[in-house]
């Protein structure tokens, strides 16, 4: 029942109209495969087309559901389409169940046979493109790898071809709800995963075999979403095909990244206006509009200047604009460290106290809940949801925020959280969430990540190591790529806990078997862990943001002219002049927020010797009892 429910919701919300009970009436056929089996196919031919280009969809989710609506905003109006649609059930699924096989031929080989069969039909003009999201996208890569001569182009949505360890075990932790949903859909993948919970030779082989950008010989238009779980597969593969596919096709690939979730449950779908608790009217149906331009150019030879479009188009959330780039991530970003402090503040100045730290208890039987984010299971919300009511209100989370921003902070790329931690247990997890805090207090999740501490040195069996209680360890968590402008008036926030359940498996804190009985979600004699995050000058924790636009000024002087720093640039002496007598401390910090030197200041005129300082960009932080100012300085 769960599988049926998911399939119905998935397709009705992505492509179907709920305003009519009418149905389309395709031509029903079967397509012979090279091994003599046949795949069920529905063929939709608009009136007036006797021979035309074809869009192929290969699905494991029942081709019959397309009777109610076709994708790309066609709906029931088939005759408005310039394309013939051929929709095929995968071997072993639904109408093609009788052709079930045990791995040979492959889905890609079946795709080859389907493409070449279409090319031979009287109604086909030999121009064949492919379209589809998720599994329907992954099969396009597998088909293209087999290089059917009649395949013209592909348009996979929220999909990459890889089967990576990190997709299923990010930070060494099973994506519980994700695998549960895949099992519910009939893939039966959990037994394989439970046999390979560390990065072993099977994963090494899979990752090598399923990353094949040099095998994509046709133009590819990849479409993804910042709230989806696939960008970390999509972006490396797009960069791969832009550099490794044949030279004659490299410049024909395009990427579109919108403010979208994966789809499958709820209202958040690729191209829909509503994503979780936010709305994105500037991005509605961009995926469909651009996909049709892509198909028109390659399948209909329409001179619509598609070949002049940017290689990468991405949606900058926050400011809600579409941006262009030649690659991802865009150039011009600066990796900046924002430090976590004892008082819950995030800023770019490293801590100066020697003993600051914060602790919390993590109870596996009462884990921090998953609220939104890149989920898949049908009973979970997808996309941006407010973390304040059900996550940040708990006593098992540390919440760190910037002061209210006085200017926009532009982030493009992959943030990295660097923690110094300890625990009273031999194993535990650390989970982080990055959020955008609105002026009304909503803390909207952008991305998340996790690390199981036994995997702090790597993900092979030989890498794993238990913790010594009370010992300080590094915990580095790389968050997924995103593009967000934290607007002036907002705050940047990081939530640190030890669970995000059921998105990730719960750690029992025992350093024992991670998945007893090969269960995706079982706890055997769990222990409560007391976990500590260090926030001091010796062991400091911070987040590195690839950002631009933040100039580090936090000026509490009533008049900016009260402080003059000169000469700037300088090579030897830096003078600091005040309009009235002051006393305090002046510090020189590098771009990472590390303090290079400090000295006391008093009176109205002070000088700092920079003769031993290397050339570069620095920041001068001036602290008095009631005043703080930070100035950028260039040392030549």
Q: Domain spanning 2-325: which CATH class is it, in words?
A: alpha beta
| Mean pLDDT, rounded, for 336-351 | 94
By three-state DSSP, how is residue 485 classified? Answer: strand
The pLDDT tens digits of the residues spanning 45-63 come to 999 999 999 999 999 999 9
What was the pLDDT predicted at 593?
A: 64
Q: What residue spans define the domains of the chain? A: 2-325, 334-548, 560-635
For 96-105, 167-176, 351-360, which range has the lowest pLDDT when averaged over its residues? Answer: 96-105
Q: How confident is the model at residue 628 (pLDDT cuts 50, 70, 90)?
A: low
Strands of 301-383 (E only): list them: 312-316, 321-325, 334-340, 346-347, 357-362
Beta bridge partners of 85: 44, 55
pLDDT higher than 50, residue 559: no
pLDDT higher than 70, residue 115: yes
For 90-104, 543-557, 570-584, which range has the lowest pLDDT when averaged over its residues? Answer: 543-557
Q: Distance (Å, rounded) from C-alpha 396 to C-alpha 394?
A: 6
For 192-196, 334-338, 432-436, 569-573, which range has the lowest pLDDT when averaged over its residues? Answer: 569-573
Q: How confident is the model at residue 537 (pLDDT cuts 50, 70, 90)?
A: very high
Mean pLDDT over all residues of the chain? 92
Beta bridge partners of 618: 633
Q: Domain spanning 334-548: which CATH class is it, in words?
A: mainly beta
pLDDT higher than 70, residue 3: no
- Spatial CB neighbours of 192, under 8 Å, sequence gap ≥ 6: none
The pLDDT tens digits of the residues spanning 459-472 come to 999 999 999 999 99
Among 185, 133, 136, 129, residue whose Cα is nearest residue 158? 133
Strands 409-413 and 491-497: unpaired
Please state whether 103 falls in left (phi above 0), alpha (psi between -120 and 50) or beta: left
| Mean pLDDT, rounded, for 66-73 | 96
243-247 long-range Cβ contacts below 8 angstroms, 24+ apart: 243/213, 244/213, 244/214, 245/213, 245/214, 245/215, 245/216, 245/217, 246/214, 246/217
Note whether 459 and 513 are within 8 A (CB). Answer: no
What was the pLDDT predicted at 561?
A: 53
Please state whether 625 falls in left (phi above 0), alpha (psi between -120 and 50) or beta: alpha
What was the pLDDT predicted at 309?
A: 96
pLDDT higher than 50, residue 1: no
pLDDT over 90 for what percent of the chain?
79
For 404-408, 433-437, 563-567, which range has the lowest pLDDT when averaged over its residues? Answer: 563-567
| Mean pLDDT, rounded, for 96-114 | 89
What was the pLDDT predicted at 571?
A: 85
User: Cis peptide before 569, with omega less than 30 degrees from 0?
Assistant: yes
| Mean pLDDT, rounded, for 329-339 | 94
Angle at 412 between CA 481 and CA 275, to 5 degrees: 65
Largest distance between two CA atoms of the chain = 92
pLDDT higher than 80, residue 21: no
What was the pLDDT predicted at 589?
A: 81
| Mean pLDDT, rounded, for 337-364 | 95
What was the pLDDT predicted at 591?
A: 64
CATH topology of domain 560-635: Immunoglobulin-like (2.60.40)
Q: How confident is the model at residue 10 (pLDDT cuts 50, 70, 90)?
A: very low
Note whether 157 and 224 are within 8 A (CB). Answer: yes
The pLDDT tens digits of the residues spanning 140-154 come to 999 999 999 999 999
pLDDT higher than 80, residue 560: no
At which residue do the structure tokens 């923690």 appear? Answer: 419
pLDDT higher than 80, residue 427: yes
Q: Distance (Å, rounded) from C-alpha 210 to C-alpha 68?
A: 34
Beta bridge partners of 491: 437
Q: How confident is the model at residue 557 (pLDDT cuts 50, 70, 90)?
A: very low
What was the pLDDT predicted at 2?
A: 37
pLDDT over 70 for what percent of the chain?
93
The pLDDT tens digits of the residues spanning 152-183 come to 999 999 999 999 999 999 999 999 999 999 99
Q: How confident is the model at residue 18 (pLDDT cuts 50, 70, 90)?
A: very low
Buried b (16+ CB within 10 A) or exposed e, 536-568: beebbbbbbbbbbebebeebebeeeeebebeee
């Amino acid at each position: 029942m769960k599988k049926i429910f998911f399939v119905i919701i998935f397709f009705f919300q992505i492509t179907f109209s709920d305003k009519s009970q009418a149905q389309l009436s395709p031509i029903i056929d079967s397509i012979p495969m090279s091994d003599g089996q046949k795949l069920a196919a529905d063929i939709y031919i608009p009136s007036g087309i006797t021979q035309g280009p074809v869009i192929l969809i290969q699905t494991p989710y029942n081709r019959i559901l397309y009777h109610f609506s076709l994708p790309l905003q066609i709906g029931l109006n088939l005759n408005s389409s310039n394309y013939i649609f051929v929709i095929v059930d995968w071997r072993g699924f639904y109408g093609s169940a009788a052709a079930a096989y045990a791995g040979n031929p492959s889905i890609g080989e079946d795709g080859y046979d389907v493409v070449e069969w279409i090319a031979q039909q009287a109604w086909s003009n030999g121009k064949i493109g492919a379209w589809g999201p998720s599994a329907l996208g992954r099969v396009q890569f597998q088909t293209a790898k087999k290089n059917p001569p009649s395949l013209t182009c592909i348009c996979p949505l929220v999909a990459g071809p890889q089967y990576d360890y990190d997709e299923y075990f990010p930070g060494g932790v099973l994506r519980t709800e994700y695998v549960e949903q895949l099992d519910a859909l009939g893939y039966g993948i959990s037994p394989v995963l439970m046999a390979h919970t560390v990065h072993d030779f099977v994963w090494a082989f899979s990752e090598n075999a399923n990353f094949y950008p040099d095998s994509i010989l046709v133009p590819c238009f990849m479409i993804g979403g910042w709230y989806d779980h696939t960008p970390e597969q999509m972006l490396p593969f797009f960069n791969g095909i832009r550099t490794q596919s044949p030279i004659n096709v490299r410049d024909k690939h395009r990427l579109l990244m919108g403010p979208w979730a994966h789809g499958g449950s709820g209202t958040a779908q690729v191209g829909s206006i509503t994503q979780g608790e936010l709305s994105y009217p500037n991005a509605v149906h961009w995926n469909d509009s651009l996909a049709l331009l892509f198909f028109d150019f390659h399948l209909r030879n329409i001179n619509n200047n598609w070949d002049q479009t940017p290689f990468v188009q991405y949606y900058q959330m926050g400011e809600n604009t579409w941006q262009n780039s030649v690659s991802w991530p865009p150039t011009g970003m600066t990796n900046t460290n924002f430090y976590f402090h004892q008082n819950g503040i995030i800023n770019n100045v490293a801590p100066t106290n020697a003993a600051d730290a914060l602790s919390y208890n993590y109870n596996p039987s009462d884990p921090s809940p998953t609220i939104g984010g890149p989920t898949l299971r049908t009973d979970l919300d997808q996309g941006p949801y407010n973390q304040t009511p059900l996550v940040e209100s708990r006593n098992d989370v540390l919440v760190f925020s910037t002061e209210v921003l006085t200017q926009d902070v532009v982030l493009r790329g992959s943030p990295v959280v660097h923690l110094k931690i300890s625990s009273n247990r031999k194993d535990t997890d650390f989970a982080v969430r990055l959020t955008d805090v609105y002026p009304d207090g909503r803390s909207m999740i952008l991305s998340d990540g996790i690390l199981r501490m036994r995997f702090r040195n790597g993900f092979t069996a030989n890498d794993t190591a238990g913790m010594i209680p009370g010992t300080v360890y590094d915990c580095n968590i790389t968050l997924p790529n995103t593009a967000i402008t934290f607007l002036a008036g907002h705050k940047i926030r990081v939530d640190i806990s030890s669970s995000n359940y059921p998105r990730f498996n719960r750690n029992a804190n025992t350093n024992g078997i991670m998945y007893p009985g090969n269960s995706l979600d079982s706890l055997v004699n769990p222990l409560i862990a007391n976990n500590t995050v260090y926030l001091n000058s010796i062991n400091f924790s911070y987040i590195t943001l690839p950002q631009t636009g933040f100039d580090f000024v936090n000026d509490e002087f009533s008049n900016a002219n009260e402080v003059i720093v000169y000469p700037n640039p300088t090579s030897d002496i830096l003078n600091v002049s005040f309009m009235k007598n002051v006393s305090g401390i002046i510090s020189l910090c590098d771009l990472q927020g590390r303090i290079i030197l400090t000295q006391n200041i008093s009176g109205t005129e002070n000088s700092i010797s920079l003769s031993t300082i290397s050339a570069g960009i620095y920041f001068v932080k001036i602290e008095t009892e009631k005043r703080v100012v930070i100035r950028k300085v260039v040392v030549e």
